[in-house]
Each structure stands twice: as C-alpha cells, then as structure tokens.
C-alpha cells in the first residue's frame, strides 16, 4: 500500500489491501515536505513518520474491522525493523517519486 500525494496536494491511500509494503509516493517531487505536515514528521533522508490513525482515516476503511486489524498487525510485525512505533502509533515510510 502507499500514500499517494497528488500534484494538487490531495492525499489518498492506494493499494490498501497490500499489507506487505508501505510507502509515500509523490506525483511531483517535493510535495511530501508540505503536504504531510499535518499527519507526519520528517525522519532520516527520504523518510517520514506518519500518524497511523491518520493512515486508517485516509484508507476509507476505518469501519472495516478486518482491514484495521490487518493494518495494525502489519505495523506490529515491522516494529522490530524500525518501521513502526506501536507506542506512539506511527509508521515510517520512504518517499518516492511516481
């Protein structure tokens, strides 16, 4: 799954059934710095920490208990690798250009 930042700044969660990957995709370079400021904080080079609850909201599936459980399970599995922080409820994603 990936968080798409459209050229117009709109955020949307795409490929949301893919629980094996997570990233941020910009339609135009440099959008992440401004468009993610409400739901994320910059991390190391080309990465951001995103509010996991905001990602659930963007999915449009917050009432789908099975999907929400799968999302949190994905985050729990990658915490050991430094890609999520379950206590702070956030997920780290690299930013790439579409």
**How many structural domains is the chain composed of?**
1
Report the relative pairing of strands 23-26 and 84-85 from DSSP bridges. unpaired
- CB within 8 A of 94, min separation 6: which ones? 23, 24, 46, 47
- Residue span of the structural domain in which 79 resides: 2-97
DSSP helix/strand/coil, 19: coil
Measure CA of the first residue to CA of the last residue in the chain; give whole Å. 14
What would the pLDDT profile of 36-74 be if each residue is shown by its tens digit?
999 999 999 899 999 999 999 999 999 999 999 999 999
- pLDDT per position as a tens digit, 1-45: 999 999 999 999 999 999 999 999 999 999 999 999 999 999 998
pTM assigned to the model: 0.94
């Amino acid at each position: 799954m990936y968080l798409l930042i459209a050229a117009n700044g709109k955020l949307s969660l795409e490929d949301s059934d893919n629980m094996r990957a997570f990233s941020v995709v910009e339609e135009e370079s440099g959008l992440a710095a401004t468009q993610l400021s409400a739901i994320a904080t910059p991390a190391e080079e080309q990465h951001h920490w995103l509010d996991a609850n905001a990602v659930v909201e963007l999915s449009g599936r917050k009432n789908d208990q099975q999907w929400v459980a799968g999302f949190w399970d994905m985050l729990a599995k990658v915490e050991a690798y430094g890609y999520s922080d379950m206590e702070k409820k956030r997920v780290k994603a690299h930013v790439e250009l579409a």
